[in-house]
Structure 1
Amino acid sequence: MKAVDVRALGGPEVLELVDAPVPVPGPGEVLVRVHAVGINAADWKLRAGAIDGLGAEPPFRLGLDFSGVVEETGAEVFGLVMSRWGAYAEYVAVPSGMVAPKPAELDHVEAAALPTAALTASQALADVRSGQRVLIHAAAGGVGHVAVQIAKARGAHVIGTARAANHDFLRALGADELIDHTAVDFTTTVSDVDVVFDLVGGEYGRRSLEALKPDGVLIDAQGNDASEDPRYRRFYVQPSGADLAGAARGIRVHVSQVLPLQDAVKAHELGESGRVRGKIVLTV
């Protein structure tokens, strides 16, 4: 089968299209013929060695999010796989508990764009209540635009930081207030927030504390500089087919670019630009 592997850490150019054996599913796993693969920020961070993951040095294969067909049954599924040998390939072996039936209203490209975004947003915002003020950083990104919808569905007043070009897009998804972070310091325009969902990281942590209520919570999905504050909570997504089936229900996912698997280098270059609205997907 064709696959895209990482043989050395580095820039997008280290992604290599290779011939690889079809994986043999182990106990409790299913073999999925991949139709599409969602691109995530974790992919280029793992590729560059910027975060720990996969439990090993190269070689390894990226690809958390996928949509495809279970080879033995023909059932259409989608899911999130955390493995040294990910979904940038024609086939992936994945524990059956990490996949869910693909919603009939989604094609494989849309389904592949959803797992990490839907699980991250729904799990991180699980305690959001009606009437709360929720600030979402990078609201137009892959996770952010899904988080806007989930927070709004739970009755929150949703505030997002995003470039002005993305404001109409986010209003259509339910955002109540929007801040152009390239033109305005959000700490001067928003306050009394119950929940901050930080999808940027770095120095956004301490700055976000200025907008947060004394009893609020800062949910950090990227790694920021506010970890000493008692309101800080570090978040890591937990793969679950059951959670995914519920989290993806009713979500509109925006796919900005669809590229073939062999263009994984270009997909990473686009993703790392920080200018992508929604998600990038590779088709297999």
Structure 2
Amino acid sequence: MSRAVIYEKFGGPEVLELRDVPEPHAGTGEIRVRVTAAGLNPMDWALAARPEAAARFGVTLPSGFGYDLAGVVDEVGEGATGFALGDRVFGGALSRAVADFVVLETPAETLWPTPDGISDEVAATLPVAGLTASAALSVIGLKSGDTVLIGGAAGGVGVFAVQLAKLAGARVIGTASASTFEFLRELGAEPVAYGAGLADRVRALASDGVTAATDLFGTETAEAALELGVPAERISTIAAGPNPPGGVRATGGVDASPGSAKQLTDAILAGRITVPIAATFPLEKFRDAVELQADRHVHGKIVITV
């Protein structure tokens, strides 16, 4: 037997259960990953809480939980390609990651080698948040000299977006609560409070104007950017649904360019990007981790160790 977090009805963290389940094994064309760390994202509890969200991703009950994972390949099925026994890997497995083992088909488009020098805990934060940040900036053509407004800059995706934007040579203004201002300054962003009057506050901070924006939380930042005169094609959203306001660009991690995962790990190894991990929890305390994630006031990433 092995363990996995399972839910049989939709709801809050209380519907999640850590259960003994039959141990999965790699079949033909498959590999098995012994999971050592699973990073949490808002998407995870949204799928467990909202049937309409689960339906959009094809998730049905009963379901496992989580997407981001890191671990070690410990079984390789006949005909499997791309990975060998003992390989350290990180990647994604929709609604299956928080478990002792995950079986994946090969070739695996959502699995990458974990470089020496990057811990499994750090690697487990990258698939959703890192690739989503990369896609959100890529789709608006962010370049050196831009002044970019990033909404939700202190969140899990935001911490990557801020640093990637700085690496691109942009000036970064990030929306956040006052309690996270110093945290954002350490990442290289100029913080501004979210809420009513956002456009006016940004205008006062950036007298030469804003040239690009990405909204990582909802639509407030996108709407403020439109009010500030940023062209719709230079504004992206990740959480506004398929039809965001004003014709701005909806995107997500699936739109990240090939090589984005390696670019992230290379930047981390070179010390150009840091990964703030707000908290780690053992698998036995997974519900505490999910409750903290669902609170949406975390500075950085939350990781479950398995």
- The TM-score, its normalising length taken from structure 1, stands at 0.90
Counterpart for residue 119 of structure 1? 131
Gaps of 5+ in 1: none
TM-aligned CA distance change 1:86 to 1:242, over 3 Å = farther
Q: Hey, what does 1:65 align to over in structure 2? A: 68
**Greater gyration radius:** 2
Q: How does 1:1-284 map to 2 (within 5 A)?
A: 1-49=2-50, 51-52=53-54, 53-72=56-75, 73-82=85-94, 85-95=95-105, 96-126=108-138, 127-175=141-189, 177-181=190-194, 185-191=197-203, 192-214=209-231, 217-223=234-240, 227-230=244-247, 232-238=248-254, 242-250=259-267, 251-284=273-306
Distance (Å, rounded) in 1 between the aligned partners of 2:281 and 2:245? 41
Aligned equivalents of 1:169, 1:221: Cα separation in 2: 22
Specify the SS of the correspondent of 2:64.
Answer: coil
Superposed displacement of residue 263, structure 1: 1.8
1:25 Cα shift?
3.4
Deviations 1:65-108 (A, max 9, x none): 111001131111111223xx511100112243321111222211
32-41 or 51-60, which deviates more: 51-60
Secondary structure of the residue aligned to 1:103 is: coil
**1:212-267 deviations in whole A, cap 9, x for unaligned?**
4246522110016973523x111122188843122332231111110111222211
Query: Distance between the aligned counterparts of 1:208 and 1:76, measured in 2?
Result: 41
Q: Aligned partners of 1:205, 1:220: CA distance in 2, in Å? A: 7
Shift of 1:63: 1.4
Q: CA RMSD in A?
A: 2.2
- The aligned counterpart of 2:79 is none
* Superposed CA offset, 1:142-195 (max 9, x none): 1001100001101111110112232222222221x210226x732112243222
Decide which structure has greater helix share: 2
Structure 1 residue 23: Cα displacement: 2.6
Q: Which moved more, 1:247-256 or 1:9-18?
A: 247-256
Task: Please give the alpha-carbon distance, in whole angstroms, between the structure 1 residues aligned to 2:151 and 2:124.
Answer: 23
Q: Is the 8 A contact 2:232 2:249 kept in 1?
A: no
Q: Which runs of 4+ in 1 moved over 6 A?
A: none
8 Å CA contact retained: 1:205, 1:226: no
> Displacement of 1:21 after TM fit?
2.0
Task: Give the AA of the match of 2:252.
Answer: Y
Q: 2 CA distance for matches of 1:113 and 1:273?
A: 18
**Which stretch of the first structure deviates more once superposed, 238-247 or 56-65?**
238-247
The count of residues paired between Structure 1 and Structure 2 equals: 279
Whether contact under 8 Å (2:222, 2:236) holds in the other structure is no
Q: Percent identity?
A: 39
TM-score, length-scaled by structure 2 = 0.84
Is 2:73–2:87's contact at 8 Å kept on the other side of the alignment?
Answer: yes
8 Å contact kept, 2:240–2:250: yes
Q: Which runs of 5+ in 2 are unaligned?
A: 76-84, 204-208, 268-272
